[in-house]
Amino acid sequence: MHAIRIDRSKPLAEEPHVGHNRFHPDIPPVLEVEEGEEVVMETRDALDGQIPPDATVSVFDAIEAGAIHPLTGPIYVKGAEPGDALEIEFLDIEAQPVAFSGIFPGLGFLRDVMTEAYLVHWKIADGWATSEQIPGVRIPGGPFMGVSGVAPSPEALAAWTDREQRLLDRGGLVFPPDLAGAVPGGACGLHGLRTLPPREAGGNFDVKQLTKGSKLVLPVYVAGALFSTGDGHFAQGDGEVCVTAVEMGATAAVRFKLHKGLAASRRFQAPVFSQEDYFVPPEVAVPKRFLGVMGMPITDDGENDGENLTLACRNAVLNMIELLQERGYSREQAYVICSVAVDLRVSNVVDAPNFVVSALLPEMIFDGD
């Protein structure tokens, strides 16, 4: 078995030979493996250790945004060629014993109304996460990797950079290429894709079903595929609305399989994933007791914004925050609970004009001592 070991007491910039935080085809591989070989990959947390377990929100002002998502890799898979599909099987994902969640002003789904910085430290033990900052709550674990991806081709790099710049020019929220904090630097840092959004080649999916036993299939764009992973999450609600889950360092064991020509033969370029067993225990995946609230595309002044799923989703989250406040939690605590434990579900996209998004809160998170 191969392994990529890291020193989590050091930032990625001090160990650039084991990882990177941009996607670029010219980043050299850390390791070369044959199809079918297993690899253990130690990873840093999403903020590269910039929030230690004793930190307060005062550290937020010093966070280097360009250093987020330190990834371990890339790994060159022998035989992988453009047009193939690379299957990554997650054999195991182990959590580190501490984690964090936070509200970062300017980020998150409700960034226009949730503007106060807030920080939660979690302790992970016996399959649960608990925090002194949110007493009376314990979050069941379902460890997964938030970021997994392969390198873009030079052509894909140029095309995706251009389309994101066009969105930025239209006023969209985009993080364009930026050399600040980039590992590696040079041309890869100056022109490399930021890791925050997911793309066809992978990236920051935050798909919580990618737990132990799952298989992720990515289209291959360059020889060797150049696979990397990072951003471990101990638990997350579908939506991750405050922009953080239960963020942790992790150790992932993976195995690769090649599907020759599969990506080229498909009429779409998008990640595919599967699971042959429950992605978490069934009582966690489908809680016996839950509280749900609906959101519809109705504006604050009572007008229909027909078929607007984003507004329906926003209202579902706001309504759940109100329900959690009725239980005695602060607005900030409630927002974090929504991000790490509440699942957003599209209930219907046919009942025009008011499509429905539901927010489901598992009652088991309040069952601990």
Cβ–Cβ < 8 Å for 101, 124: no
- pLDDT tens across 314-357, in order? 999 999 999 999 999 999 999 999 999 999 999 999 999 999 99
Provide the residue type at 198 as one letter. Answer: P
Instruction: Give 367's pLDDT tier (boundaries 50, 70, 90).
Output: confident
Inter-residue contact 72 to 249 (CB < 8 Å):
no
User: What integer is the mean pLDDT of 202-222?
Assistant: 98
Hey, which residues does 218 pair with through a beta bridge? 86
Give pLDDT, residue 368.
Answer: 67
Residues with Cβ within 8 Å of 116's Cβ and at least 6 positions away in sequence, in order, are 103, 105, 332
* Mean of pLDDT values over 157-171: 98
User: What's the CA gap between 237 and 343, in Å, rounded?
Assistant: 5
What is the full DSSP assignment across 175-209?
A: -----TT-SS-HHHHHHPBPSSS-BTTEEE---TT
- Encoding tokens for residue 160? 């995706």
User: Dihedral angle at the C-alpha atoms of 100, 291, 359, 128, nearest 10 degrees?
Assistant: 20
Residues 263, 165: Cα–Cα separation, whole Å: 26
Retrieve residue 266's tokens.
């498909």
Contacts of 72 (CB under 8 A, 6+ apart): 4, 6, 18, 19, 30, 41, 42, 43, 44, 228, 229, 230
User: β-strand 128-130 against 118-125: which pairing, if any?
Assistant: antiparallel
What φ, ψ does residue 39 adopt, rounded to 5°? -135, 130
279: nearest Cα among 215, 183, 221, 222: 215
For the purposes of burial, counting CB atoms within 10 Å of the CB of 153, is it exposed (0-12), middle (13-18) or buried (19 or more)? middle
Taking only the tens place, the pLDDT of each residue in 258-295 is 999 999 999 999 999 999 999 999 999 999 999 999 99
Peptide bond into 74 cis (omega under 30): yes
Distances (CA, A) of 33 to 1, 224, 230: 10, 9, 19
Question: Which percentage of the chain shows pLDDT scores above 90?
Answer: 99
What is the C-alpha end-to-end distance of the chain, expressed in Å?
41
**Nearest to 360, CA basis, from 339, 335, 343, 337:** 343
**Helix (H) / strand (E) containing 315:** helix 309-326
- CB of 90 closer than 8 Å to CB of 75: no
CA nearest neighbour of 204 among 22, 13, 41: 22
Predicted confidence (pLDDT) per residue in 302-311, tens digit: 999 999 999 9
pLDDT per position as a tens digit, 12-59:
999 999 999 999 999 999 999 999 999 999 999 999 999 999 999 999
Q: What's the CA gap between 151 and 183, in Å, rounded? A: 15
Contact 254, 91 (CB under 8 A): yes
- pLDDT score for 369: 47
